[in-house]
Structure 1
Amino acid sequence: MSTFTRLLRALPAMAFLVVFGTAATASASTMEDIMERGTLRVAVQTQGPPISFVDAHGERTGLAVEVVRNMAEDMGVELELQDYSWQGLIPALLSGKADLIAADMTPTPKRATQLLFTEPIFFTEIIAFANEDKGYSHWEDLKEEGATIGAPEASTYAAAADIKLPELTMKEYQGGTAATAQAVSSGRVDAGISDSGTIKAFLEDYPEFEVLEGTLRKEPLSFATRPDSVHLLMFMDNYIRFTEHSGQLGELLDYWWNTQDWEEDH
């Protein structure tokens, strides 16, 4: 076999090493940057409890915040929380301002074209709510002619409502479930769409609300990072599994999501 022929046969393997060697270097860069700077930069949302909010003591807390707070501590780095609106989370991550997004974000196929998502941290149920005097009992009662529904802007809640209730008028609100709840309370819409965990936080402030029976859809919720941050993604997946098996994640979920115990402390 000539030297030229051997070179031709070796080219595919060489190309593989170049491509994947470069990818390995790129994927490790985010983790290396975190460890070198000693800070984990996390984009969180401003939409309110129980995921991320400022409590009565002026401290940022919530389920997502406490998960990444523990994560940063276990990594041996400081935590830097960056507060954004829902619409600002992905741009902040892709622009390099943040290392990851810690929010109640559903890993939809469209979002996955831009981001790398972790394994689901937990699952939630998308539900409908309305003022008691509306007389609705089940979300399917909303199908009556002329009903209007509200949901957070660009959310999977709105997407679920479009699928399950396509004949209804949809109004999307900036400001998440808080803005949607205000719209329902004031009568600007007949009902709102949110998730089972988030709406619990608003029932005390809006005693006139009734959670309607039935689930529009069940969804996984995950954290996200950039496509070049494979090492960080693998670390987060490992961290989720580790804290799940140790019981630490379950304790946080019970405190923040499955019950309302956190309200007395915050």
Structure 2
Amino acid sequence: MNRRTLLGAGAGLVIASGLARPAMADTLDTIRARKKLTVALDLGSPPFGMTDAQMQPTGSDVETSRLLAKDWGVELELLQTTAPNRIPVLLTNKADLVIASFSVTEERKRVVDFSDPYGVIQVVVAAPRGMEIKDYAVLAGKRVGTTRGSSNDKEFTDRNTGAQIVRFDDDATLITALVSGQVDIMATSPQIMDAANKRGGGRQFEVKLVMRTNPYAIGLRKGEDKLRVAVNEWVHANLRNGKLGEIFKRYNGTELPAVMLS
């Protein structure tokens, strides 16, 4: 993913190595002037971001990014990132926006701004079917896998009562660890759990504990008020017309909460 490669027509999807840009006074006007939108996205986090059999980007966040670029009439450049690097790529001006299942938390809001939510994601403890987990105390001494720097990591760390937390750099590596038996328990999302189940290998996981339900939104730098207004207008228009709901359902297998559509 380090080589800049043209990946298709329409929005002109590109994956870029992403050299840092100088700070911009008005990012929205800059996007319009250069006719290109750079979005940081995690392709190791199915079903939000992943690659298909032809090694092309796909997933709900990829489709969301494509829709935004199409509606704005600009080329789309995707910058591959990971969960821990979502904030740094914004603060170093490598991307205009982050669209990467970016859960809205008070800690993150202190350093970056968010659009209004366009989806929700649960933070759960999951384990193989048949394994009984009634509370966090029974996890003491057990290995629990999670993705480093994610809200899943933080939520479980805050509740941990003695489990050994094994942190992986991205969701794809966590899934491989689960399928191969490196870890049996995970602090993650139902979507990542489902991705592990689809990998097969005879190991099927289910949700044991729900820690939190988080809205996720588009991340942008603080002070970008004009950009935030434009993104929010786009989010609400595409929630009302059903396009964001259709993308969410297609990749997550469930409907967006009704409250988001009103």
TM-score after normalising by structure 1: 0.80
Structure index of larger Rg: 1
Distance 1:240 1:137 in 2: 40
Check 1:41–1:211 CA distance in 2 against 1; reply closer, same or farther (3 A cut): same
TM-superposition CA deviations, 1:170-203 (whole Å, max 9, x none): 1211122x22233334443341111112321221
Is 1:136 aligned to residue 134 of structure 2?
Answer: no
Distance 1:147 1:83 in 2: 32
Q: 1:95 aligns with which of 92, 95, 101?
A: 92
What letter matches 2:43 in structure 1? T
- Aligned length in residues: 231
Question: Which residue number corresponds to residue 82 of structure 1?
Answer: 79
| Pairs within 5 Å for 1:42-81 | 42-81=39-78
Q: 1:184 aligns with which of 153, 173, 178?
A: 178
Task: Return the offset for 1:85.
Answer: 2.3
Task: Return the offset for 1:212.
Answer: 3.0
Question: Which residue number corresponds to residue 215 of structure 1?
Answer: 210
Quick one: percent identity of the two aligned structures?
26
Question: Which residue number corresponds to residue 259 of structure 2?
Answer: none
Using CA pairs under 8 Å that are at least 6 residues apart, name the structure with larger relative contact order, 1 or 2: 1
Q: 2:220 aligns with which of 200, 220, 225?
A: 225
Contact 1:151 1:171 in 2 (8 A): yes
Q: 2:122 aligns with which of 122, 125, 135?
A: 125
Q: 1:108 aligns with which of 105, 108, 130?
A: 105
What letter matches 2:186 in structure 1? G
**Greater helix fraction, Structure 1 or Structure 2:** 1
What letter matches 2:248 in structure 1? L
Contact 1:107 1:117 in 2 (8 A): yes
Contact 1:69 1:79 in 2 (8 A): yes
Contact 1:27 1:230 in 2 (8 A): no
Check 1:141–1:101 CA distance in 2 against 1; reply closer, same or farther (3 A cut): closer
Task: Return the offset for 1:249.
Answer: 1.2
Give the secondary structure class of the aligned counterpart of 1:213: strand
**Greater CA deviation, 188-197 or 139-148?**
139-148
Is 1:197 aligned to residue 194 of structure 2?
Answer: no
Is 1:258 aligned to residue 228 of structure 2?
Answer: no
Contact 1:121 1:222 in 2 (8 A): yes
Distance 1:184 1:165 in 2: 20
**Greater CA deviation, 182-191 or 151-160?**
182-191
Contact 1:139 1:212 in 2 (8 A): no
How large is the RMSD of aligned CA atoms in angstroms?
2.1
Structure 1 segments unaligned to the other structure (5+ residues): 1-25, 260-266
Question: Which residue number corresponds to residue 148 of structure 2?
Answer: 153
Contact 2:142 2:163 in 1 (8 A): yes
What letter matches 2:46 in structure 1? P
Task: Return the offset for 1:252.
Answer: 0.8
TM-score after normalising by structure 2: 0.81
What letter matches 2:148 in structure 1? E
Distance 2:55 2:139 in 1: 43
Check 1:144–1:100 CA distance in 2 against 1; reply closer, same or farther (3 A cut): closer
